[in-house]
Amino acid sequence: MIRFSVVVPVRSAGEFVDECLRSIRRQAGVPLEIIAVDDASPDHSGPILDRHAVEDPRVTVLHLSRSQGVGPARNLAIAQARGEYLVFLDADDAFRDDDVLAGLDADLAATGDPDLLLFHYEERRPCGLTRHMRLGRVIAPGGPRRVSRAERPEVLCSSWVCWNKAYRRDFVAAADLTFPPGYYEDFAWSIPALLAAGRMAVSERIGVRYRRCRTTSVSRLPGPRHLEVFDQFERILAYLAAHPEHDSAGARRALAASTRTFLRSRTDRLRVLPPDLLGEFRRRTAEVTARIGGLEGTCPR
């Protein structure tokens, strides 16, 4: 039985994807499969993926004839996955150590195979500096351990990326989770997943080495497409409306606070919006934050 399906969407990542796939193939002590989706890469990423598939039968490569975006690419891989758990890895990142998946396997077993397991990651900057991004800033440390219902709102203040979590594939199917198109696609996946998970656990394990400050990262390239973040928040609001059983005042306060902090970072710190769109972005930030849960409440930073 395959324990983990590792999903890797790839586009224009020829400089990094070899390291990414090698970090997955080196994982020892646990049955896994690797599903890499070549999102019509214009560079040499596709041939690199094909070489790995020839070298390792655990690697499956899906080649798309036209680019669909990272969210739809992940959905295609999920549809083919056979593992008990889904783990996502971006093509410019890598697993930090060769025993990450074996460690996560042990953490999942120790916590009763929950629907969702959160773990730490490491930021690595081009200058070589690293920083460990730990969950302890939003939830009491310790683990692996189950997350109580009382702690759930704080979890919504954790990172909304999809790749610092392991998801039980049966849970993903039952909750009908899919990635949307557009920028910031992680948000409309991760937040519903955190809300819907019946059993959630945390691990102190550092899983992923995240390559921060890559100049071609969409989160740092200035342009009007950053307005697409509001499409993702509309999807989150629609999810809350459709699933009142997962809604609560505490969750909304935490979500609103974290939303406000993130959106302000786009304009106040990263300044990725063109000047003529700043007014619209700030107006929509205030509107969506109020619609989620008002202006009260804070998340640890």
How many structural domains is the chain composed of?
A: 2
Q: Which tokens sit at 142?
A: 């310790």
In the chain, the amino acid numbered 85 is: Y
Domain around 50? 4-211
Is-contact 30 102, C-beta < 8 A?
yes
The span from the CA of 61 to the CA of 287, in Å, is 42
In a domain, 299, yes or no: no
Give the pLDDT confidence of 107-159 residue by residue, as tens digits.
999 999 999 999 999 987 665 666 666 666 667 667 799 999 888 888 998 88
- For residues 127 and 92, the answer to whether their CB atoms sit within 8 Å is no
Q: How many CB atoms lie within 10 A of CB 1?
A: 6
132 and 203 assigned to the same domain: yes
What is the DSSP-derived secondary structure letter of residue 121?
Answer: E
How many Cβ atoms from other residues are within 10 Å of residue 166's Cβ? 27
* Same-domain check for residues 129 and 161: yes
Residues 172 and 266 in one domain: no
Q: Within this chain, do residues 25 and 112 fall inside the same structural domain, yes or no?
A: yes
173-188 pLDDT, tens digit each: 999 999 999 999 999 9
Note whether 286 and 170 are same-domain residues: no
Structural domain contains residue 83 = yes
Q: Is the pLDDT of residue 279 over 60?
A: yes
Which pTM does this prediction carry?
A: 0.92
According to DSSP, residue 44 is labeled S
Residue 48, domain CATH:
3.90.550.10
| Residue recorded with tokens 């390559």 | 211
Same domain, 186 and 269: no
User: Does residue 217 sit within a domain?
Assistant: no
